[in-house]
Amino acid sequence: MNAQWSAGLVAVCVGIGALFFSARHVSIPPSPYTLFEPVMTAEQKAEVQRQIDRQLNRKSGGQQVSATQVAYAIDAIVLTFPVPGASGQSDSSCDYGYFCVWDAWDYTGRKLSLRSTPSSRPVNLSDFGMNGHVSSWQHHNKVHTVKIFGVDGPGAKGNIMMSNLKEVGLGKGCCPFSIPDQVSVTGAWTEIYSQSRLAEYNDRMISVAFSPMFILFAQ
């Protein structure tokens, strides 16, 4: 009996040990976006936190993921705040798989990162305090995968104000683009990956729509 009890006790201990070992070695999937964690003073941290709190009140369902960022819809949308002040640092990068817009020229200021897939749902910029304030953008994804449209109405309904394709006519026949920073010609489409300074006409974006590359117009 004692031998059986001892064997059972050993088995239980081995099982518990394996459980603890397994828990310590669980792999956590990496975040699809880069955390922006700049050095800030106490005053700057407090100001950014106030902005984050206002954003979480503006649109529910978000989660603060760093001292400067709020994420929504399982990381499909990430809002990044710059360091306050005239010389405050901004996050000027756009992670792979995202379409990013900034509220200032040259990829500075507040940044909104949107997951870029053909099935991504339209995003209303007013939910993030960015409607009518897009001044620069980048798109970092596989070439010729997703069409992107900036629209002058909510829910991706209205006139097209910007696109990542040069051939897409904007608005009511107005000249389509300011000079793009990077252009790649593939087949019939000229895909644009970034614009550091949008013209006034392009800065009227209220919502953003995504569609497969083979569909011409925003839905």
Domain definitions of the chain by residue range: 41-212
The token pair that represents 49 in the structure block: 């936190």
Average pLDDT over residues 41-51: 97
Which residue, among 103, 96, 61, has the nearest Cα to 81 in the 3D structure? 103
pLDDT (tens digit per residue) in 95-139 = 999 999 999 999 999 999 999 999 999 999 999 999 999 999 999
The token pair that represents 80 in the structure block: 């990044």
Specify the residue for token string 């792999």.
Answer: 27
pLDDT (tens digit per residue) in 153-207 = 999 999 888 899 888 776 643 334 444 556 666 557 789 999 999 877 667 899 9
- What DSSP element (H or E) covers 160? strand 160-163
Query: Whole-angstrom Cα distance, residue 69 to residue 93?
Result: 14
CATH of 41-212, one of 3.30.930.10, 2.60.20.10, 3.20.20.480, 3.40.50.300: 2.60.20.10
Average pLDDT over residues 144-159: 91
Lowest-confidence region among 24-28, 42-46, 189-193: 24-28
Instruction: Specify the pLDDT at position 75.
Output: 95
Instruction: Specify the pLDDT at position 199.
Output: 77
Instruction: Specify the pLDDT at position 22.
Output: 36
Query: Whole-angstrom Cα distance, residue 187 to residue 23?
Result: 50
Residue 147, beta-bridge partner list: 211
* Helix, strand or coil, per DSSP, at residue 157: coil
Instruction: Specify the pLDDT at position 87.
Output: 79
Q: Can you give the length of the chain in residues?
A: 219
In angstroms, what CA-CA distances link 119 with 14, 144, 160, 167, 218? 47, 15, 19, 22, 12
Q: Which amino acid is at 78?
A: V
